[in-house]
Each structure stands twice: as C-alpha cells, then as structure tokens.
Amino acid sequence: MQLGLIGLGKMGGNMRERIRRAGHTVIGYDRNPDVSDVASLAELVDKLEGPRVVWVMVPAGAATQSTVDELKDLLSEGDIVVDGGNSRWTDDEKHAEELRAKGIGFVDCGVSGGVWGLENGYALMVGGDDEHVARVKPVFDALKPEGDFGYVHAGKVGAGHFSKMVHNGIEYAMMQAYAEGWELLEAADSVTDVREVFRSWQQGTVIRSWLLDLAVNALDDDEHLEKLRGFAADSGEGRWTVEAAIDNAVPLPAITASLFARFASRQDDSPQMKMIAALRNQFGGHAVESAK
Amino acid sequence: MQLGLIGLGKMGGNMRERIRRAGHTVIGYDRNPDVSDVASLAELVDKLEGPRVVWVMVPAGAATQSTVDELKDLLSEGDIVVDGGNSRWTDDEKHAEELRAKGIGFVDCGVSGGVWGLENGYALMVGGDDEHVARVKPVFDALKPEGDFGYVHAGKVGAGHFSKMVHNGIEYAMMQAYAEGWELLEAADSVTDVREVFRSWQQGTVIRSWLLDLAVNALDDDEHLEKLRGFAADSGEGRWTVEAAIDNAVPLPAITASLFARFASRQDDSPQMKMIAALRNQFGGHAVESAK
Amino acid sequence: MQLGLIGLGKMGGNMRERIRRAGHTVIGYDRNPDVSDVASLAELVDKLEGPRVVWVMVPAGAATQSTVDELKDLLSEGDIVVDGGNSRWTDDEKHAEELRAKGIGFVDCGVSGGVWGLENGYALMVGGDDEHVARVKPVFDALKPEGDFGYVHAGKVGAGHFSKMVHNGIEYAMMQAYAEGWELLEAADSVTDVREVFRSWQQGTVIRSWLLDLAVNALDDDEHLEKLRGFAADSGEGRWTVEAAIDNAVPLPAITASLFARFASRQDDSPQMKMIAALRNQFGGHAVESAK
Amino acid sequence: MQLGLIGLGKMGGNMRERIRRAGHTVIGYDRNPDVSDVASLAELVDKLEGPRVVWVMVPAGAATQSTVDELKDLLSEGDIVVDGGNSRWTDDEKHAEELRAKGIGFVDCGVSGGVWGLENGYALMVGGDDEHVARVKPVFDALKPEGDFGYVHAGKVGAGHFSKMVHNGIEYAMMQAYAEGWELLEAADSVTDVREVFRSWQQGTVIRSWLLDLAVNALDDDEHLEKLRGFAADSGEGRWTVEAAIDNAVPLPAITASLFARFASRQDDSPQMKMIAALRNQFGGHAVESAK
C-alpha cells in the first residue's frame, strides 16, 4: 500500500526504511530537505492516491498539533491520519474530533523500539475505530516484529498512546530497579566484580530482561560508568503516567519514585535539602555546609 | 563427582534431579524419610568419600545454623560446606569462620530459578575462596543453565548471598513496576483489553522480560486476577536489601516502596490511616468511617 | 464595611459570624433558605451598595464556576469578587480574566482553620492586585487570628490558592509523619503507653505542633483508634500539589507518598498486589490467598 | 539530690547547668579537663554518696559501651546508671543485663531539646523499672519543661530510646514536608514572597509548629537559603526507625523517603542515575552528559 510519512528523524527515518523493505510505497516529508521525498506537505498529499493514509511522526505538542491542523485542510473525506508520535493520550480525542468534522479518520499509535526498531521491529499499541485500524493494518504488520507479539489494538482513540505511556512508566521503574541494585552492589565490600554479577543474571534468573542485556552492554563499554554524569532527562510519558494515576486514584509509588529520582538528578543543588540543613542548624546547632 | 545434599524440598529435590542428570552422584538427606536417601546426617557424611562436598539447602536462619553446627562436628579437614539456601549474607562469614576452625571450607551460593530451574537451569551467584569454589565447580556447571550466563563467582564469602539478595530486591521493584502499570491500565477507560496490551509487550518493547511473560501467563489463567487476593508475602531478601542500603547510605526508593507495598497488603486495616482519619476529623470535622 | 457572602455551609456560616463580630455588615446567600439572608444572588447584589465586595465560599469546580458566571452578569464595574473556596490555582487567572472584561476585580483567598476558625481566626493566603486586595482588607482583618501572623498577600492572582494548596500538601505529609510514628510505636513491644508518649511530646520536643495536640485529643477519645476505619479521603489540594510539582520538575517524595497512602486506604483490595501475588505464584509456586 | 553526669558537651554541659539551677548537686566528668569537675570516672564515683545515680551523656555506640563497662566495675549494688545519649534501643536491654548482674539498675532516657533545652527544658522519654525511674525522678523534673508535658515513662528498658527514635523519625518527615513545600513555592511563578507565606502560616493554619517557627527564623537569616548547600547529615535514629519498621512489617513511606533524600543529598554524583543515563543511551540513543 501507499503511505505518507511526516517526520523523518531518528525514528521516522528508520520506520520509512522498514516499511519500504516490506514492499510498501512510502512518501516521506521532513522539514529537512536532505531527507525529505517531497518539498511540502501539500505535495505529499498530492502524490498519494485516495483514500490516503498519512502517518505523523513529529514531536508531541505544538508540532503535532500544527501538523494535524494542516492535514485537516489538505486531506479529504475518507482519508486517515495516524499519530505515531509521543502525544499525550488526552490530545488524541481532540485531534480525532477535529478531523472527524471533515470525515477524516484518526488512529493513535504508540511506538516502542528505539534505535533497535529497524532490525528488530517496533512494538505498536494502537487506538481507534476498527474500520480505521484495519485500513492501516498492512503498515502495522510491516513495522511490528516477526512473531506473535508486538502489536495490539488496545481500544478506542487514545488507548494506543495511553498504553504506550504506561509502558514507559513501567520502563522508568524497571530502569530504576536495576540502577538501585547496581549502586548497592557497587557500594558493598564483598562483591568484587559487579559487572560479572550483572552479566550472569542474563540467564536463569527471575530478573532477566532486555533492559538487563542493555545494562551489561553499557557496563562492557564503561565498567563503573565513570564516563557518565548521573543526569537523566524525562520525556513526558513518565509525568503523564503519574498524572493519570492521580486522576484515577491509583497509587504508583515505584514509578513515581523513579520520576522524582530523575528530577533530582538534574538539580545542581537541592533547594529542599537546603531547608533541611537550615532546620537542623536551627534546632540542633548542627553544622551546615556553605554553598560554594 | 559425589555430592551430599541436605534439604530435599521444592528446590532441593529438583536440584538433586538436575545434578544426577549431569552424571554426578548425589546422596540426599531430608527429615522426611519418604524423599531422603539416608537416615541421618551422620549416615550421609559416612557414605561420602573424602574430601567431601556437602550442599545445605534448608531454610535460612535457625535450620541452616543447626545444620552447619552439626556438620562442623561430622565433617573433616578438607571438606567443604556449600550454603545454597537464602541465608542473610551477614551469616556467611560467621559460618565460614566456625568451619574454618576445623579446616572445613565454606562457599555461599545464591540460587535463582524457582520451579522452572529443573528444566531451564538455576542461576548461581557464588562467594568464597577460589580454591573452594573450584572444588564445587562441577556441581555448579550441572545446575546452571546451558549457555554463557547464569553463573558468577561474585567475590569472597558472602558475595554470593549478597548478590542474590540484590537480585531479589531488583525483582521486587520490577514486579511492582508491572503491577502498578497493570492497575493503571485496568483503571483507565480507554483501554478495553489490558491482557492483550500486556501480551503485545512481549516483543519489540523496552520492557520485555521473563517476568512479563509470567504476567501474561497469569492473566491467561485469570484475566482480571479476580481469583486472587491482593496479599503478598515477603521472604527476607527484600528487607535485607533495604537494610544493606541503609548501612551503605544508598537511597533505594523504588525497591523500598515495593517492600512497603507488600507490608501494607497484609494489613486488614491500616493503623496509620486510622490516625490520618482521626486527624482530619479533629481539624476539619471531616467524616470518618467507623470500624465494622 | 459591607460584604456579600455566598455559601453558608460549615465554613461560610462561621465566617459570616466572625466577620459580623468584627462590626461589619454581612449579607449571606445560600441555596438553603434556612440559613440564607436573601432569596437569590440577584437580591444579594441588589442589597449591597456599590462598589461591592462579594465573597464566594462554595465548592471548587462547577459550583464556583457557575457562581462566577452569574456574578459576572449581576455585578458592575468596580465591584470585586473574592474566591475563598478551595479552587485550583489554575482556575483563578481564568476567573479573573472573565470578570476583568466587565471591569470587575478578582481576588483569590486560600482559607485554613476548619472548625476552629470561628474562635481562633482563619489563616488567609491572598492573591491579586494590590488595589483589589486593599479593598477587601477590612474583611481579611476580621477573619484572621489575633496577632502578627495568619495573613499574607502572596502575589498576583492565583498565588493565594497556590499557597493554600502547598499548605495542604505539607499538611498531608505532616499527618503521615505522625501516623507512621504512631503505627510503629503501637507495633513495638517495649512501649507500653503510646498515648502518653504522644502526650509528652507536646512540650520541649522538635515535633511539637498543633497537629500533635489534635492527635492527643483523638487518642484521648479512643486510645487505639479502634472505632475508626483506616480510610482517608483526599480533597483535591494534595493531588494538585503533586501535579504542580511535576509541572515544575520538583521531587516531592514525602508528600506524594502521603497522597498515595490515602488512595490505597480506600481500596478494598489492591489490584497491583494481586499482580504481585500472581507473579510470585508463577515463578516460585508461592502460595496465594484466594479472593473471598 | 546528687547526680554524677558523664559527658559535658553541647548537650551535657547545658543539662548540668539546668539541673544545678533546680538546686541539685551535679558532679560532672568529661575527658576535657577544662569542663570537668573531677579528674576521672573513679573520682566521680568516689565523690558521690551511695546509692548513686550516674547519668551517661556520651556518643552512642563505642563510647557509651565503654563507659557502661567502666561503671559496671566502679559502681556498687543499688546504684543506677541512666543512659541519656542517643543509643539504639537494642543496646539498652544488653546494658541493663550487664549491670543487673552486679545489682546495678539501668534506665534509658531519650532527650530532645537541642540548643534550646537549657532555657525551655528538655523533653524526656524514659524506659526502665518503676523503682529505678522513681529514684531518678527529681533529675527528670529538673530537666523537663515547665508545664504538664515533656516527660513520659514510656515502658520497660529500651522504651525511652525507642520513643525518642520514633520522635526523630517523625521529625525527619516533618522537616521534609516543609522543605518540599518550600521548594515548590520557590519554583512557582505566582508566589512572589515565599518567606512571607511561611511567616503567615505561624497562626491559624493546620501546619503551625515549632519547626515552622524555626523555618521562618532561617529564612529571616537568608531569604533563599543561598548561603547553604543542600547537604544533610543523618544521625542514626532515622536509619534505626526504618529498620524497626522493617522488623515490624510497618510501611513507613514518608519517613523513609526523608531518610533517602538525605542520603542522596550527600552524593556528589548519583551512581544509580548514571545507570539510568546509560540505559537511556543504550535503547534510545538519548544524549548523555559526560562526567566532568
């Protein structure tokens, strides 16, 4: 089938390649002319035969919103827009409604796989009406991994991004789990080769996983991670997971602890710990450390 | 080689079988005569040719201590005791010292694998002197999974149990990660088939793992886990992990949250939340719920 | 001065009384005719001489929004609306803008004091333009406690409710602190009279506070809180505090733990702990408890 | 009455003064001859008329243990030792038993009050037999604050230090509560004068407390705490509180979060966040920051 693909960055570029390898036609558009197949969104829409499927793979928020706005004007009744970016699930119903007014379908698709997706396939979590999802199915089949898993139609519009968001929340806590364990092993006296302990865990243990394999890769590059700073960004999904939990009154202690650890990692000095130091000094005359 | 194996329960029984399949001779002792190969510890020691290797696979704490005490009297210089149970790593040095006085070696071995170990092999984390560990190596080779991983000599006496303890701490937080994500998906409106979302995650995602596969198995048995009560025991290693973190001033927020979630799961009613209710009532006249 | 006061529930009724005691004229309106001074909002506005000050003391959300909407139509240029309810700070700027279009001023005021406020005074945290705040000052003076503290003009519109929201977030964690300590003391063997320990802490300790005094009151009513269920509602501000922290990338581990403890207290059975139990059963054959 | 007092540091020196002001005789011993009343422990014991009461006020752990050991040899049947230091409650029964063998009584006393104790009095939490506690009561009465509170006989030996330990655990979480709230207010845009918000909270609010008063003092010294580094020590009791909670399977999420925040505050760079950064880089090609 034919697919229009908007956004050819690290993710989108590899996805174009994987879909093409499956025998489909992909016309890609990117603001960067070096990677783009067409000069404009209008040209992209023009080149696709109707009814069209256009996959949006641009940053969540303003970029996705303005792309949806433009597509609403350019596309025709019966066309379908797929948002494969990291949009907040609450944006999906809004986008679906805006497009529905013109008879354009909407499907949201959470994509996992990172830099490994081109070879291994991408895990896809999809939300939308059965009819729209069915139309995009050949593309989903091209992107997903070989085998029985890696694809789910999770529910109505929004369910795809919601599922992907929860996936990322779980990912935060799993990474935190390995990270805490690694720090404790490094801190202990008795264990002389922490990297080999991690390596050994890759078979036969309860905690074997792909993330563990990656941890071993990382330790093979840099045994004590001395080249890195303990600084971790967060990309939205972790925050939204906690917000969704608050909306639903679901306690998420481990995932939230993982998010907060990232916040703290980005502070040069902790304001709240200044207050702790100040209070200890006030009541106990405890020594404080001066700011440098 | 010959091995004496003490404790033939769920773990020990399967381990005897796996070691025998590898062509070694195992003489097993258990208090339960139905499964025991010999009538007493003394008979077990008698039947082994020196220098002996005796593997202790009994509950941590008092049972392990009394077994070590008996073996100290029964064994001879040059023999080796392996503690493959879930002992606290702080007990290992004590046991090693007690046995060293009589010239008996000591090796600690954390074993992971559960009910799947007989077929898949057991992951082994070992602590002790090189010379002692080398003597037991054929048994370790029999027990470990096929392949490159699943075995590590982690360091001196205690390092094996310490590594296994941290493994279990990580396991707590990974399980909590999936559990939190599952609860949130079940609570949300948009996702109509949570089980299929979990199933799809088994390929191509960042969070694929053996625990995830088990979660899918569990949901296949009971889609919404309605047959279970939200009640989780804890077996010592999670507690010791947090204590070791405190000793080393290492923050473990996700692992500790996971441990506390288990504590809370076992309370019929939460005393601390009674106090919260009482305080809200005191200052705000907020309604409280009476105990039934 | 004259004040219109809308909402004469537990809080509003007592506030009317305290403002009157200070010599001001209060015309109160409530949907409940038994407590209302006038039959309608229109009548309330009619009876006040311009420029008017109208204080809204109704539930946050829909009730406050519809009251602001009605007042926008009824009031005149130069009048002022005070929102003294528990509105989310993000609603304040919206309300201010809606009213500004008609030349009506807006002040937000977070109020603390609960059932004790009538006698002790209410702590007030105020946001808005200097000019508007100055116009309401006599009412603030009537409501606040005797003494130097209990009133602050915290900043522009929204700052009052934001400050009150953070106050409540702190309150959550302080209550949780006492509650955790109480549960631990009750669980320990050595301490035979926990209530007397709490009572003694009211002087000379680092942790003496008004909340501690209330805890002692509660324990005097019911030494082991056996009449209560460990069930705690939450009223919005705790959730908003965590959301504001996420917006600002500020880690709030203790406040968030306190919010989650309340969420968990309201679950008959914990879905996430069902998943933990299911996983333990899968890998270890660990016993599970069946749902009743 | 007569009292022997060992340890005349910041706490002990002030306590000697307060007890003397109440009309009692205090013979103080310290290793520092400038503050000591006698040249040796032996001389201190010599100068007291039997039956003696000797109060130990030295650092917990080795210093307290060696002092108890010496006193066991120097004192006589019927004498009493009071441990007023910050000993772990688990040491108390051990010390009591060692002294009991020679007919010497033992009382443990947790002391709160810091640098304010000389003027305001010290809060005292006491453990021990009724008979021994009664013998020391005049000293307790001299030390405690004026008024009805500030003293409790909490239970048998160990109950005093256990109660003081829980007091400190609560203190950790209360400090953390104010610190988190302060950081959030400082981070928010709308609140222009955070110090005045804190000041206003000292009356009429639910969160008024002595610690809040101290926070205002600290902010008066240094409005944004710019002179301080966010670095907080911990002195044992917080750790022991969490360990006691683990022993009793009591969840302590807020207190533990407060302890971990202190651990993290003392790390120049976070090892666990290096691992998070490494994993993000592995699966997503996310940028990492290099160690400086």
C-alpha to C-alpha distances, D132 to A55, A219, D68, nearest whole angstrom: 81, 60, 17
Q: pLDDT tens digits for B111-160?
A: 998 888 999 999 999 999 999 999 999 999 999 999 999 999 999 999 99
Pairing of strands A123-127, A105-112: antiparallel
pLDDT over 70 at C102, yes or no: yes
**Residue A102 host element (H or E):** none
pLDDT over 80 at B62, yes or no: yes
What pLDDT sits at residue B54?
98
- CB burial of D203-214 (b: ≥16 within 10 Å; e: otherwise) equals bbbbbbbbbbbb
Residue of C nearest to D187 (CA): C248
**Residue C116: which pLDDT band, with cuts at 50, 70 and 90?**
confident
Position C239, amino acid: R
Residue of C nearest to D213 (CA): C209
Summarize the confidence of residues B277-291 as an average pLDDT: 82
Pairwise CA distance, residues C178 & B272, whole Å: 8
What pLDDT sits at residue A81?
98
C-alpha to C-alpha distances, D171 to A279, B134, B285, D210, nearest whole angstrom: 10, 52, 26, 11
Summarize the confidence of residues C180-200 as an average pLDDT: 96
Contact: B251, D242; criterion CB under 8 Å: no
Phi, psi of D191 (to 5 degrees): -85, 115
What pLDDT sits at residue B292?
55
Pairwise CA distance, residues C87 & C95, whole Å: 10
Q: Closest by alpha carbon to D217, among C134, C279, A278?
A: A278
Contact: D272, B251; criterion CB under 8 Å: yes
Cβ-based neighbour number of residue B39 at 10 Å: 10
Query: Residue D289 is nearest to which of A229, A282, A290, comparing CB atoms?
Result: A229
Structure tokens at C30: 């409530």
pLDDT over 80 at A289, yes or no: no
Cβ-based neighbour number of residue C256 at 10 Å: 32
Residue of B nearest to A144 (CA): B204
Beta strand residue intervals within chain B, DSSP E = 2-6, 25-29, 53-56, 80-83, 105-112, 123-127, 151-155
Phi, psi of C233 (to 5 degrees): -75, 170
Pairwise CA distance, residues C187 & A75, whole Å: 67
Judged on CB neighbours under 10 Å (0-12, 13-18, 19+), D70 is: middle
- Residues of chain B with pLDDT > 90, as a percent, come to 93
Summarize the confidence of residues C219-223 as an average pLDDT: 97
Q: By the CB < 8 Å criterion, does A33 face chain C?
A: no
Structure tokens at D11: 């706490």
Pairing of strands D105-112, D123-127: antiparallel
Angle between helices B159-187 and C271-284 (to 10 degrees): 140
Pairwise CA distance, residues B130 & A193, whole Å: 14
All residues of chain D having their beta carbon less than 8 Å from the beta carbon of residue B257 are 253
Q: Is D207 in contact with C176 (CB distance < 8 Å)? A: no
Contact: A203, B112; criterion CB under 8 Å: no
Q: Closest by alpha carbon to A277, among A266, A291, A265, A267?
A: A291
Contact: C209, D204; criterion CB under 8 Å: no
Sign of CA dihedral A74, A79, A85, A89: positive
pLDDT over 60 at B27, yes or no: yes
Residue of D nearest to C170 (CA): D177
Q: Closest by alpha carbon to D203, among A275, B284, C146?
A: C146
CA distance B188 to chain A (A): 7
CA distance A248 to chain B (A): 7
Contact: D260, B256; criterion CB under 8 Å: yes
Strand partners of residue C155: C127, D191
Query: Residue B264 is nearest to which of D251, D259, D263, comparing CB atoms?
Result: D251
Q: By the CB < 8 Å criterion, does B116 face chain C?
A: yes
Cβ-based neighbour number of residue C55 at 10 Å: 27
Phi, psi of A250 (to 5 degrees): -100, 125
- Residues of chain D with pLDDT > 90, as a percent, come to 93
Active site residues of D: 164, 171
All residues of chain D having their beta carbon less than 8 Å from the beta carbon of residue A269 are 229-230
Judged on CB neighbours under 10 Å (0-12, 13-18, 19+), C207 is: buried
Summarize the confidence of residues C49-65 as an average pLDDT: 96
Structure tokens at C252: 């709030």
Contact: A263, C250; criterion CB under 8 Å: yes
Pairwise CA distance, residues C54 & C84, whole Å: 10
Q: Is D56 in contact with D3 (CB distance < 8 Å)? A: no
Phi, psi of D138 (to 5 degrees): -60, -35
Q: pLDDT tens digits for A74-101?
A: 999 999 999 999 999 999 999 999 999 9
**Which of A231, A267, A286, A288 would best serve as a mutation to test chain D binding (most D beta carbons within 10 A)?**
A231
Q: pLDDT tens digits for D262-279?
A: 999 999 999 999 999 999
Q: Which chains touch C (3 or more CB pairs under 8 A)?
A: A, B, D
All residues of chain C having their beta carbon less than 8 Å from the beta carbon of residue B286 are 233
Contact: A179, D276; criterion CB under 8 Å: yes
Summarize the confidence of residues D143-167 as an average pLDDT: 97
CA distance B262 to chain D (A): 9
Worst-scoring range by mean pLDDT, A236-240, B113-117, D284-288?
D284-288
- Residues of chain D with pLDDT > 70, as a percent, come to 99
Pairing of strands B105-112, B53-56: unpaired
Pairwise CA distance, residues C215 & C195, whole Å: 9
pLDDT over 70 at A287, yes or no: no
Query: Residue B255 is nearest to which of A154, A172, A177, comparing CB atoms?
Result: A177
Q: Which of A17, A164, A237, A289 is the catalytic position? A: A164
Pairwise CA distance, residues C63 & A78, whole Å: 42
All residues of chain D having their beta carbon less than 8 Å from the beta carbon of residue C258 are 253-254
Q: By the CB < 8 Å criterion, does C260 face chain A?
A: yes
**Residue A268: which pLDDT band, with cuts at 50, 70 and 90?**
very high
Judged on CB neighbours under 10 Å (0-12, 13-18, 19+), A131 is: exposed
pLDDT over 90 at D94, yes or no: yes
Q: By the CB < 8 Å criterion, does D272 face chain B?
A: yes
CA angle D244/D262/C276 to nearest 5° reads 55
Kindly state the greatest CA–CA separation across chain A.
77
In order of their start, the domains of chain A are: 2-157 (3.40.50.720), 165-265 (1.10.1040.10)
Interface of B with A in 170-229 (CB under 8 A): 170-174, 176-178, 180-181, 183-185, 187-188, 190-193, 196-197, 199-212
Task: Give the number of residues written for chain B.
Answer: 292
Q: How many CB pairs under 8 A join A and C?
A: 39
**Residue D116: which pLDDT band, with cuts at 50, 70 and 90?**
confident
Contact: C230, B272; criterion CB under 8 Å: yes
**Which of A237, A263, A276, A286 would best serve as a mutation to test chain C binding (most C beta carbons within 10 A)?**
A263
Summarize the confidence of residues B266-292 as an average pLDDT: 87
Position B106, amino acid: F
Whose tokens are 């330790």? That residue is A219
Q: How crowded is the C-beta side of A215, counted as CA atoms within 13 Å?
A: 31
What pLDDT sits at residue B73?
97
Q: Which of B171, B180, B186, B223 is the catalytic position? A: B171
Q: By the CB < 8 Å criterion, does D248 face chain A?
A: no
Summarize the confidence of residues D35-48 as an average pLDDT: 98
Cβ-based neighbour number of residue D103 at 10 Å: 11
Pairing of strands C151-155, C25-29: unpaired
Q: Which chains touch A (3 or more CB pairs under 8 A)?
A: B, C, D
CA distance B18 to chain C (A): 17
Pairwise CA distance, residues B25 & B1, whole Å: 6
Whose tokens are 């009050």? That residue is D113
Q: Is D47 in contact with D38 (CB distance < 8 Å)? A: yes
All residues of chain A having their beta carbon less than 8 Å from the beta carbon of residue B148 are 202-203
All residues of chain A having their beta carbon less than 8 Å from the beta carbon of residue C207 are none
What pLDDT sits at residue A292?
55
Residues 6+ apart with CB under 8 A from C43: C29
Summarize the confidence of residues C271-291 as an average pLDDT: 86
Residue of A nearest to D184 (CA): A272
What pLDDT sits at residue D285?
72
The reply to whether C164 belongs to the active site is yes
DSSP summary character for residue B32: S
C-alpha to C-alpha distances, B191 to A128, B171, C74, D63, nearest whole angstrom: 11, 27, 45, 62
Cβ-based neighbour number of residue A37 at 10 Å: 16
Q: Is B229 in contact with C277 (CB distance < 8 Å)? A: yes
**Residue D113: which pLDDT band, with cuts at 50, 70 and 90?**
confident
Contact: B254, A177; criterion CB under 8 Å: yes
Summarize the confidence of residues D204-228 as an average pLDDT: 97
Pairwise CA distance, residues D240 & D92, whole Å: 14
Task: Give the number of residues written for chain C.
Answer: 292
pLDDT over 90 at B287, yes or no: no
Summarize the confidence of residues D54-71 as an average pLDDT: 97
Q: Which of C70, C144, C171, C180 is the catalytic position? A: C171
CA distance B106 to chain D (A): 29
Contact: B283, D253; criterion CB under 8 Å: no
3-class secondary structure, D208: coil
- Residues of chain A with pLDDT > 90, as a percent, come to 93
| Mean pLDDT, rounded, of chain C | 96
Interface of D with C in 49-78 (CB under 8 A): none
Contact: A259, C246; criterion CB under 8 Å: yes
Phi, psi of B3 (to 5 degrees): -135, 135
Structure tokens at B93: 């040095």
Query: Residue D209 is nearest to which of C125, C181, C210, comparing CB atoms?
Result: C210
What pLDDT sits at residue A284?
79
Angle between helices B130-143 and B10-21 (to 10 degrees): 90
| Mean pLDDT, rounded, of chain A | 96
| Mean pLDDT, rounded, of chain B | 96
Strand partners of residue D112: D123
Kindly state the greatest CA–CA separation across chain B.
77
ipTM rounded to 2 decimals: 0.95
Pairwise CA distance, residues C63 & D75, whole Å: 74
All residues of chain D having their beta carbon less than 8 Å from the beta carbon of residue C170 are 177-178, 180-181, 207
Worst-scoring range by mean pLDDT, B111-125, C14-28, D155-169?
B111-125
Q: Which of B164, B226, B237, B274 is the catalytic position? A: B164
Structure tokens at C237: 């501000």
Contact: A273, D227; criterion CB under 8 Å: no
All residues of chain B having their beta carbon less than 8 Å from the beta carbon of residue D246 are 239, 242-243, 259
**Residue D287: which pLDDT band, with cuts at 50, 70 and 90?**
low
